[in-house]
A and B are shown apart, each in its own frame.
Chain A
Amino acid sequence: MLSDYTIIGVFAIVAILFPIAGLLTAFVVRPHKPNPIKRSTYECGLETIGETWVQFKVQYYIYALVFVIFDIETIFLYPWAVVYNRLGLFALVEMFIFLAILVAGLIYAWRKGDLRWV
């Protein structure tokens, strides 16, 4: 059981070292001649006007909220799906009720116009 996860650890270490090694090689090989014009922010040849970190519309956060609800729902769905064949009709009906509540939430958000990107 634990040995299954040892290789995940090895994988993680190698996956972290690989891009670092690549970037270090590039650091040694590549030229390094910065100047102010090269280092300016790319924006069609003009200087950036105002702050870069601008305000974002609330739409993004609404989607994030809907996402959290549905993501947690999938966490409940996966164990149910795994043991589905061993459970009886009761589990099926119960999961249908659970899904129906969520669909009701989705329809509510839809009707309120929260899913419309403006």
Chain B
Amino acid sequence: MSIIDIINNPVAFVGDLLKSVLGGFLPSWATTLILMILVVSVILGFLVFTMLFMTWMERKVVGRIQDRLGPNRVGPLGLLQPIADAIKLLTKEDITPVGADRVVYNLAPIVVVIPALMVFAVIPFGRGMIATDLNIGFLYIVAISSTSTIAILMAGWGSNNKYSLLGGMRAVAQFVSYEIPMVLAAVGVILLTGSLSMGVIVDAQASLPFILLQPIGFLIFLISGVSEVNRSPFDIPEAESEIVAGYHIEYSGLKFAMYFLAEFISAFAISAIATTLFLGGWQGPLLPPWAWFLIKTYILVFVMMWLRGTLPRLRVDQLMGLAWKVLVPLALVNIMVTGLVNSFTRTQGWWGIGWSGSLLTALTFLVANFLMAALFVWLYSSRRPAMAGGASAQRA
């Protein structure tokens, strides 16, 4: 194994080393099990580190956007701030409010973390750096990540607080609504790939990333993804100015931290999934694959923080209107257009004839997406005389 291979996939190198060492005195099933536990622990450690780094990054980025410095007291550039926060939250008194449903109240912060972590079982971090490349990878992600809604409703319900309950109900309505455009936007990619496996989806983007074929699909996925992980401007369930903090209002200490762990890890997960589906995953020249994956994912994470620093929070009716009246019809039309253009480009034989074919395919898709966008802008334009859609209907 050359040094390049080790840099490209350090996990496989360490794994092979351990396998040869452990295989000497342990039965093979025990070696496999220990390696699996190690892989999961490495991913878990990486995620906790990511979460700590993202809290620091968020405060720095939003601070800079708001013309502040952000944390700069604890450690160089405030880098140790997350550690200080973690110690503070760990040693903070935990308060269970009177009248709370104790079982549900205490179970919710545990349940909310589980789906956020489990999504990463099928995310390809680099070439061969995937815990398990399930053939139903994306369906697994959709199935697992949607269960976090239950945990948030549990928190809202169990706290015995009106604000919490309102936040929980809003969260369910919002997550349920935005899940539809999110999964519909991904259908375009699955249609082009012909597989639900995350590894195959990345391999299919070797010549050109799907963002060039599915720009509108990418936008729909990103918008509904930001909403799914409950980040500003879609943070209606925890709107500070209306319902104080929504479903986690009564939580303190490490239970509160669990919600933030889940929220940041989910934000990272959505960025990672969008990277895998649309930005070519770990594909890229020169740098090792895992570096490309991290760069692309962190660009999307930065975009999320940028959105938070730029846009004001939506109203509830605007939020639901955006999901059902704009994103769902757009995603449905996107599926139809993708199906048609895909058939067209394939019958023309443009797939798999080098970069000129890729260029023609990408151009066709771009033109189709542009026409689709133009149609929707025209349909929803408020200058048009009253129609069922758009701004005029929302005012009615």
Interface residues of A (CB under 8 A from B): 3-8, 10-12, 14-16, 18-20, 22-23, 25-27, 29-34, 36, 38-43, 48, 52-54, 56, 60, 63-64, 66-67, 70-71, 74, 77-78, 81-86, 89, 92, 95-96, 99, 102-103, 106-107, 110-111, 115-118
Q: Are A41 and B161 in contact (CB under 8 A)?
A: yes
Residues of B near A42 (CB, < 8 A) are 97, 161, 163, 244, 249-250
Interface residues of B (CB under 8 A from A): 32-33, 36-37, 39-41, 44, 89-99, 109-110, 113-114, 117-118, 121, 131-135, 139-140, 157, 160-163, 165, 169, 172-173, 176-177, 179-180, 183-184, 187, 190-191, 194-196, 244, 249-250, 253-255, 258, 316-317, 320-321, 324-325, 328-329, 332, 335-336, 339-340, 342-343, 346, 388, 393-394, 396
Interface of B is mostly: helix
Q: Are A16 and B110 in contact (CB under 8 A)?
A: yes
Q: Are B320 and A41 in contact (CB under 8 A)?
A: no
Q: Are A103 and B325 in contact (CB under 8 A)?
A: no
Residues of B near A77 (CB, < 8 A) are 184, 187, 335
Q: Are B97 and A39 in contact (CB under 8 A)?
A: yes
Interface of A is mostly: helix
A2 → chain B, closest Cβ, in Å? 11
Q: Are A41 and B97 in contact (CB under 8 A)?
A: yes
Known A8-B118, A42-B97, A71-B180; contact A82-B194, beta-carbon cutoff 8 A = yes
* Cα distance A54–B164 in the bound complex, in angstroms: 12
Q: Are B328 and A70 in contact (CB under 8 A)?
A: yes
* Cα distance A52–B100 in the bound complex, in angstroms: 10
Summed over the interface, the residue pairs from A and B with CB atoms below 8 Å come to a total of 204
Residues of B near A30 (CB, < 8 A) are 90-94, 253-254
* Cα distance A7–B176 in the bound complex, in angstroms: 29
Residues of A near B114 (CB, < 8 A) are 12, 15-16, 19
Q: Are A33 and B93 in contact (CB under 8 A)?
A: yes
Partner of B94, one of A5, A16, A26, A70: A26
B57 → chain A, closest Cβ, in Å? 22
* Cα distance A95–B339 in the bound complex, in angstroms: 10
Q: Are B118 and A11 in contact (CB under 8 A)?
A: yes
Q: Are A84 and B342 in contact (CB under 8 A)?
A: yes
Known A22-B258, A39-B95, A107-B388; contact A12-B118, beta-carbon cutoff 8 A = yes
Q: Are A26 and B90 in contact (CB under 8 A)?
A: yes
Residues of B near A43 (CB, < 8 A) are 161-163
B11 → chain A, closest Cβ, in Å? 13
* Cα distance A76–B190 in the bound complex, in angstroms: 13
Known A30-B92, A67-B176; contact A41-B121, beta-carbon cutoff 8 A = no
Residues of A near B255 (CB, < 8 A) are 23
Residues of B near A34 (CB, < 8 A) are 95-96
B116 → chain A, closest Cβ, in Å? 8
* Cα distance A32–B196 in the bound complex, in angstroms: 49
Residues of A near B172 (CB, < 8 A) are 60, 64
